[in-house]
Structure 1
């Protein structure tokens, strides 16, 4: 019901925006020519919406100042969104768009969110701006954002997935920092050995966050056909990585009791940062945005050293060193009245802006990664708590694996799959029933979208 209501509202909002855009054609033409599109003072204000935990006002201030210095006449209004999860941020952006709230540039957290909104007309195609500027996308960015033949976003941060581990807990258990040779079975063995205590004070070996990605751990290391519905719309539930994913979760949560149970995770609305920094868990798979956090922040001080390990392989016979990589997506609302200016900001931010922030690795191919890593680690509260040696080992010995372009109904694909996995994790069905039921649901979904 909500989805249908939103679709109607969004259509109305897009229609209203189209009328407004037609009415302000003179302004847009002047803006494209570098002229006055903002009244007597010559200022155009571009609003940038992003989750506050990703980019806050302090981080954004020098970036905005540098952009405004380079582009007099364009002002940036950063809107830090306080919703606690990226899913809630995306829902809020949808509601703002549907209600006719002025939107210019906004950040989408993942490929699924991006592709859905590109498909429903919410995003402005960027091809004409890229062609006008005259650069080759593949020469500039590590992540390809092309969807259905066009670009609707520029990539922002670049996240390489790995495992973060509490060095004190490893030493206590007599465990070495793993290398690319380890497997998910080794990971589960480590989780058992790192688990300590009982009841409310129990320390778990690992934790899987509520994101859909954590239901597909055994697909993260697959360089080919690594999603549950492939680009040719074939259902991929028979892939051995799917069964491995379910086995990892079932064994650690329900048999070994070495991972926080899913029921506790959702009922208590757990989040990974307090769990890790409060040492309630010893290790977890996560993305490289955590490089700038494991050395400690004002909100989450680091009182122990973090070491890094590669994403495990499924079996010892599998190739080593493959791991999922991802980006977030900077997009322009199709209803924006300042698209040219919005593009200029987005282009700056996805290149020089993110790099000068010295907080995250970026999707910009021209970044100085070594220098950036030193700056990111050095900016933490306690840089000595970041084990740079193991971090460089992981980054230098990992081949990035990316998911295929997301389907317009990708969120529905993961929702259908997740519903069946949840039943397994709550003890309502076994792995075989989970795979069979999810396969049936996904095939029906694909058939309905042909």
Structure 2
């Protein structure tokens, strides 16, 4: 829930091992003062430094997106620097270390997981004034982007990023494994019971395939079941503010009704009944042989297993389309459906964009470049090959997905419109500590078979992180 090209698209929403992330949390306290002291983002005012979550070879390919900007601003150069990592926590840790060392970039790719962290620590520049000034120029962009994605990029009433991609937690499935079990495509309104029935039928066929598989992380893990069951790890609320944005760009859009100034994550609710019930369900599936024991981290392992027809169903986002295609799966060998209904059919999502750091001495030019990145042409450069879901609905076409599949590609964007209660993953300023605790307690629950005890521990972990983070 990311942004930009990633070295491993299937690890894009996982969480990092405790050691690295803990270092980032421990070191972030002094960063705001370091950045606000006026440290330069570059020794050369004619260079815009952009930090992206990818390898350097992929970062170099992004220069195509900078060409129009450089042509319009003679003498200015855009330098893309890639940082690799296990997942977003790893990226954030390395970025924060770089900032603390006085080598802050002008622009950085930041996903949902880190947006409130950077905003709360005073590292990110609000975009409100820029957007108000260039409202007429941006109207076509906002008209093409679902308001849920915009709200996810807000914090305490301010907008910090223009979304460049997102991924909702849908359900991918192997068409051949379902067919061999005598099952067709699930209905749009399929339920948890329908899912269980399909998983059972796949299991009865025998063989080496596991009916369902998942990984331990926040995005698209057992947390997708938690959302469908009406639960969350934190109390949900909204920050006041943002009326100027909604009134300007979404005045008559029903999907903007009730939108405010960003998600406000309140007191922990990790051991509430819906959350416990959701994790208990994962334990049940594992005990019955309908799900494998999950690994901690990203989904790279799941990609290989799915492509080898070893998994019947798994949570995935739009980035699975290009990823499975690149792994050798032919069009028609996999498809996608909305996540099944439990008490609700609510989905979770993560989004990504490019933020401007307060320490940048080129903020105005950085804004011009960030603004240019959300054109359809540049979004194609940033995320080629259906390795994410575009925020602009007009870019979601049958022609685009004809080369990769899945057949029901419309599910990716329609998740936002069909299920208006769909929301971003909980990602407060202390997200990293929360992710570490979630990993630990989920693993504990799956090993012990005791969801309530593990989630009581998670509740305590989050209460502490909220106070100290």
2:239 is matched with none
Contact between 2:231 and 2:274, CA under 8 Å: does it hold in 1? Answer: no
Structure 1 pair 435–114 and aligned structure 2 pair: CA distance change class (3 A):
same
Structure 1 pair 269–217 and aligned structure 2 pair: CA distance change class (3 A):
closer
Tell whether 2:104 aligns with 1:74: no
2:85 is matched with 83
The alpha-carbon deviation at position 125 of structure 1 amounts to: 2.0
The alpha-carbon deviation at position 81 of structure 1 amounts to: 2.7
In structure 1, the gaps of 5 or more residues are 25-36, 39-43
Alpha carbon RMSD of aligned pairs, Å? Answer: 3.5
Total equivalences in the alignment: 405
The alpha-carbon deviation at position 147 of structure 1 amounts to: 0.5
Matches within 5 A, 1:193-272: 193-195=201-203, 202-213=208-219, 214-221=221-228, 226-230=232-236, 231=264, 233-237=266-270, 239-253=272-286, 255-262=287-294, 265-266=295-296, 271-272=301-302
Tell whether 2:305 aligns with 1:275: yes
1:164 is matched with 172
Which range is displaced more, 322-331 or 138-147? 138-147
The alpha-carbon deviation at position 443 of structure 1 amounts to: 3.9
Q: Measure the CA separation in 2 of the matches of 1:414 and 1:210.
A: 10
1:134 is matched with 135
The alpha-carbon deviation at position 234 of structure 1 amounts to: 3.4
Contact between 2:24 and 2:97, CA under 8 Å: does it hold in 1? Answer: no
1:442 is matched with 462
1:423 is matched with 444
Tell whether 2:390 aligns with 1:362: yes
Please give the secondary structure, in 2, of the residue aligned with 1:78: strand
Tell whether 2:401 aligns with 1:377: yes
Residues 9-62 of structure 1: CA deviation (Å, up to 9, x unaligned): 52564155x1548x99xxxxxxxxxxxx95xxxxx2222222227993476343
**TM-score, normalised via structure 1 length:** 0.77
Structure 1 pair 305–368 and aligned structure 2 pair: CA distance change class (3 A):
same
Q: Measure the CA separation in 2 of the matches of 1:330 and 1:246.
A: 34
Which residue, 392, 395, 411 being the options, matches 2:410?
Answer: 392
Structure 1 pair 80–235 and aligned structure 2 pair: CA distance change class (3 A):
closer
Contact between 2:40 and 2:103, CA under 8 Å: does it hold in 1? Answer: no
The alpha-carbon deviation at position 139 of structure 1 amounts to: 4.8
Q: Whose relative contact order is higher, 1 or 2, with alpha carbons under 8 Å and at least 6 apart? A: 2
Structure 1 pair 157–55 and aligned structure 2 pair: CA distance change class (3 A):
farther
Which residue, 76, 93, 110 being the options, matches 1:108?
Answer: 110
2:375 is matched with 351
Contact between 1:354 and 1:362, CA under 8 Å: does it hold in 2? Answer: no
Q: Measure the CA separation in 2 of the matches of 1:20 and 1:160.
A: 37
2:94 is matched with 92
Please give the secondary structure, in 1, of the residue aligned with 2:274: helix
In structure 2, the gaps of 5 or more residues are 1-21, 237-263
Bigger Cα Rg: 1
